[in-house]
């Protein structure tokens, strides 16, 4: 037999990883086992590419005086293809010319994967870790009694150590407890929503606007329910938007149900973004802005600007001019070529229980699904001079890669913690060299806490679903069956054992580096202008002395709703 050096390296690595042998240097980032398989094959090439990349980045720093600025814009619930492609927009009756132009000036990703829902996706982007590792596996609603744990290291914390000014504007959806406030998670300043848009729309006016019945938040508009004997068990006093600076006080800026206030705050985030750029430039600091706008309030806009009228489409069209404005602003400030902008959605469309216009476009499934439709989103990378224009990239990239890639670009990799698994891999080479330069050919797909599917190149295996007694799980070929409707076992039979090995390695690593948990506690503490009902909500609803169980203990346990989440997340 004629083994090449490379083949031998693969076998040795496989053997080592399968037996759990420790090949990770304690000082290095701990990646998913699958990454090491690829590194064993391509490590030399990667090192060469990195050499070239470092030269480019050094030259750029020399020219601009700082490491590159990073703006990460992420909105809600859009199917792959929703922006960047005039053809698809033509079919859907709307148009985002500025976003499409930005796409044409950079990279249009065809395989940007995310977690399947908001909270999960946002936690993953900010920590570089699958949400199952941080315990943020459910979509947060009032009262969540929880949020992102202090011990998680966010992108903002990593970049702050490298000298970046950091800001967060928009929807965080990462918890309602003080520990999870964006100003306590590394951002210098923040204006954010601790939940999603729902707290905003649920007021009596929502009933008029969207035909939504606010049964749980506004009992006062109904006759008193004589069977409702546990007064106050439904939440009151939750907050819709907060604002503050690192270490400083936090203020409530939008009261739930105040849609006009929400519109105003959302518009204000655009100005804040531009102002933060100006301030950072003035201070000669590189900046990182996570601008994750809530484009819609789930209530129709009074005036329609699209033929579709779909809620998100209306939101996108209204947001679109800002992208042109942002580009102009970066050019005026002379920093366009030193600024990486990423535009993307956080997960697939809300096809289950969603508003008008949230539909599948190409892939099957939507928000919450482990199907491609739930986790494959539109994504654009723009960095004039560094990223070449007119690129449609077929490589796999995962949102967690942004964490690692941003850190690399910012010369901040050394601040990434090395005591936990970081799922993100460095994709700077993909950004700068383009198609076929990804350092990932796999995605572990979780919905809730369920390990639901694995993607490896063109192949995908569903671990949940039909026929568990046959080959264990279904196999799909995404080129031939993008909608995952024709499970095929025989054409992919050589992938069965290999998928099993991937999962075994992943499981092994999960045992070695156990998942963390969502932090738990009472919500809304330390809000400067807290309303009386908010203060009430920040404390137990009844005295400990009146009940025999431990109030705090209960709160810690309410997270354990695996079954609900798994069912919700799995398409019929």
Min separation Cβ 392 and a second copy, Å:
5
Q: Which stretch binds a second copy (CB under 8 A): 90-98, 199-207, 247-255, 322-330?
A: 90-98
Does the protein bind a second copy through residue 309 (CB under 8 A)?
yes
Relative to beta strand 459-462, strand 474-477 is: antiparallel
Q: Which stretch binds a second copy (CB under 8 A): 171-179, 262-270, 482-490, 500-508?
A: 482-490
Tokens standing for 144? 């969540």
Least CB distance to a second copy at residue 77 (A): 15
Nearer residue to a second copy within complex by CB, 351 or 404: 351
Q: Quick one: angle between helices 97-104 and 311-332, nearest 10? A: 60
The distance of closest approach from Cβ of residue 108 to a second copy in the complex, given in angstroms and rounded to an integer, is 7
Q: Which CB, 227 or 479, lies closer to a second copy?
A: 479
391-398 vs 107-113, strand pairing mode: parallel
- Which of 44-52, 308-316, 448-456, 512-520 is the region at the interface with a second copy (rule: CB under 8 A)? 308-316
**Smallest distance, a second copy to C-beta of residue 203, A:** 24
108 binds a second copy per the rule CB under 8 A: yes
Using CB under 8 A as the binding rule, whether residue 308 contacts a second copy is answered as: yes
Residue closer to a second copy by CB (options 110, 538) is 110
Minimum distance from CB of 455 to a second copy (Å)?
Answer: 14
> Which of 163, 249, 334, 394 lies at the binding interface for a second copy (CB under 8 A)?
394
Nearer to a second copy, 76 or 395 (CB): 395
Q: Does 85 bind a second copy (CB under 8 A)?
A: yes
Q: How many residues bind a second copy (CB under 8 A)?
A: 32
The yes or no reply on residue 374 touching a second copy (CB under 8 A) is no
Q: Is 458 near a second copy (CB under 8 A)?
A: yes
Closest alpha carbon to 116 in 423, 402, 350: 350
Query: Rule CB under 8 A: is residue 521 a binding residue for a second copy?
Result: no
- Shorter beta-carbon distance to a second copy: residue 33 or 81: 81
For position 514 contacting a second copy by CB under 8 A, the verdict is no
516 and 149 Cβ atoms separated by less than 8 Å: yes
Regarding 438 and contact with a second copy (CB under 8 A), the answer is no
**Which DSSP symbol is given to 541?**
S
- Does 479 interact with a second copy (rule: CB under 8 A)? yes
Binding status of residue 104 toward a second copy by CB under 8 A: no
Among 6, 418, 480, 529, binds a second copy (CB under 8 A): 480
In this structure, are strands 459-462 and 450-456 parallel, antiparallel, or unpaired? antiparallel
The reply on whether position 526 binds a second copy by CB under 8 A is no
Other beta carbons less than 10 A from residue 352's beta carbon? 16
Q: Starting at the edge strand that comes first in sequence, how are the strands of the sheet with 450-456 ordered?
A: 442-447, 450-456, 459-462, 474-477
Query: Please, which residue, 204 or 394, has the CB nearer to a second copy?
Result: 394
CA distance 211 to 17: 55
Q: Smallest gap, in angstroms, from Cβ of residue 491 to a second copy?
A: 8
Q: What is the DSSP letter of 30?
A: B
Judged by CB under 8 A, does residue 353 bind a second copy?
no
Measured at the CA of 571, the angle between CA 570 and CA 572, to 5 degrees, comes to: 120
Nearest Cα neighbor of 24 from 419, 309, 382 is 419
DSSP lists the bridge partners of residue 429 as none
- Give the nearer residue to a second copy in terms of CB position, either 42 or 488: 488
Q: Based on the number of CB atoms within 10 Å of its own CB, is 401 exposed (0-12), middle (13-18) or buried (19 or more)?
A: buried
Output the CA–CA distances (angstroms, integers) from residue 508 to 212, 289, 502, in the order listed. 46, 36, 10
Query: Is the Cβ of residue 359 or residue 508 nearer to a second copy in the bound state?
Result: 359
Phi, psi of 125 (to 5 degrees): -65, -40
Length of the chain in terms of residues written: 572
Give the distance, in angstroms, between the CA of residue 357 and the centroid of all CA atoms in the same chain: 22
Distance CA 495, CA 488 (A): 11
Per CB under 8 A, 91 contacts a second copy: yes
**Binding status of residue 237 toward a second copy by CB under 8 A:** no
418-426, 477-485, 515-523, 553-561 -> range binding a second copy (CB under 8 A): 477-485
Sign of CA dihedral 121, 124, 127, 128: negative
Return phi, psi of residue 415, to 5°: -95, 0
Q: Does 189 bind a second copy (CB under 8 A)?
A: no
87's tokens: 């053809």
359 in contact with a second copy (CB under 8 A):
yes
Q: Which residue has the tokens 């749980």?
A: 216
Q: Which of 209, 210, 324, 356 binds a second copy (CB under 8 A)?
A: 356
Nearer to a second copy, 240 or 430 (CB): 430
Asked whether the beta carbons of 82 and 359 are under 8 A apart, the reply is no
CB of 103 to a second copy, least distance (A): 10
Residue labelled with tokens 């546990």: 230
> Does 307 help bind a second copy (rule: CB under 8 A)?
yes
Biggest CA-to-CA distance, the chain: 83
Identify which of residues 24 and 359 has a Cβ nearer to a second copy in the complex. 359
Q: Where are the beta strands (DSSP E) in 463-563?
A: 474-477, 519-520
- Determine if 302 is a binding residue for a second copy (CB under 8 A): no
Site for a second copy, rule CB under 8 A:
81, 85-88, 90-94, 108, 110, 307-310, 356-357, 359-362, 392, 394, 458, 479-483, 485-486
């Amino acid at each position: 037999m004629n083994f090449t050096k490379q083949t031998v390296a693969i076998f040795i690595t496989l053997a080592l990883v399968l037996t759990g042998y420790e090949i990770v240097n304690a000082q290095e980032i701990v990646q998913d086992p699958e990454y090491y398989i690829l590194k064993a094959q391509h490590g030399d090439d990667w090192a060469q590419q990195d050499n070239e990349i470092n030269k480019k980045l050094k030259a750029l720093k020399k020219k601009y005086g700082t490491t590159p600025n990073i703006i990460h814009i992420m909105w809600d619930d859009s199917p792959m293809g929703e922006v960047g492609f005039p053809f698809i927009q033509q079919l859907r009756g709307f148009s985002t010319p500025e976003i499409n132009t930005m796409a044409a000036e950079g990279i249009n990703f065809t395989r940007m994967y995310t977690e399947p829902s908001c909270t999960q996706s946002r936690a993953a982007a900010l920590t570089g870790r699958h949400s199952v590792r941080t315990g943020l596996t459910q979509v947060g609603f009032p009262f969540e009694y929880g949020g992102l744990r202090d011990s998680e290291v966010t992108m903002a914390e990593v970049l702050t150590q490298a000298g970046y000014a950091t800001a967060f504007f928009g929807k965080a959806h990462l918890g309602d407890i003080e520990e999870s406030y964006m100003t306590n998670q590394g951002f210098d300043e923040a204006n954010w929503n601790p939940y999603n848009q729902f707290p905003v729309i649920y007021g009596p006016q929502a009933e008029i606007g969207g035909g939504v019945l606010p049964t749980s938040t506004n009992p006062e508009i109904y006759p008193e329910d004589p069977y409702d004997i546990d007064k106050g068990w439904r939440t009151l006093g939750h907050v819709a938007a907060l604002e503050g600076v690192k270490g400083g006080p936090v203020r409530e800026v939008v009261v739930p149900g105040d849609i006009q206030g929400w519109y105003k705050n959302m518009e204000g985030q655009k100005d804040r973004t531009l102002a933060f750029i100006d301030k950072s430039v003035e201070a000669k600091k590189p900046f990182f802005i996570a601008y994750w706008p809530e484009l819609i309030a789930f209530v129709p806009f009074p005036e329609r600007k699209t033929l579709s009228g779909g809620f998100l489409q209306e939101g996108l069209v209204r947001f679109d001019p800002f992208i042109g404005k942002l580009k102009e602003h970066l050019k005026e400030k002379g920093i366009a070529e030193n600024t990486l902008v990423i535009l993307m959605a956080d997960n697939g469309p809300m096809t289950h229980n969603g508003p008008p216009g949230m539909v599948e476009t190409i892939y099957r499934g939507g928000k919450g699904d482990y199907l491609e439709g739930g986790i494959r989103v539109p994504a654009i990378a723009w960095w004039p001079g560094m990223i070449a224009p007119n690129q449609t990239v077929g490589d796999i990239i995962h949102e967690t890669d942004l964490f690692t890639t941003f850190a690399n670009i910012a010369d901040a990799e050394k601040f990434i913690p090395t005591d936990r698994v970081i799922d993100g891999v460095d994709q700077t080479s993909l950004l700068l060299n383009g198609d076929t330069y990804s350092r990932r050919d796999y995605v572990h797909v979780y919905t809730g806490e369920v390990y639901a599917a694995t993607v490896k190149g063109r192949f995908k295996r569903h671990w949940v679903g039909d026929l568990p007694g046959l080959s264990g799980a279904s196999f799909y070929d995404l080129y031939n069956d993008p909608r995952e409707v024709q499970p095929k076992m025989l054409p992919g039979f050589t992938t069965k054992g290999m998928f099993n090995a991937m999962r075994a390695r992943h499981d092994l690593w999960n045992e070695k580096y156990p998942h963390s948990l969502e932090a738990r506690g009472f919500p809304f503490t330390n809000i400067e202008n807290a309303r009386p009902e908010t203060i009430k909500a920040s404390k137990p609803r009844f005295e400990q002395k009146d009940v025999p169980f431990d109030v705090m203990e209960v709160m810690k346990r309410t997270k354990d709703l695996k079954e609900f989440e798994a069912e919700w997340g799995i398409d019929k």
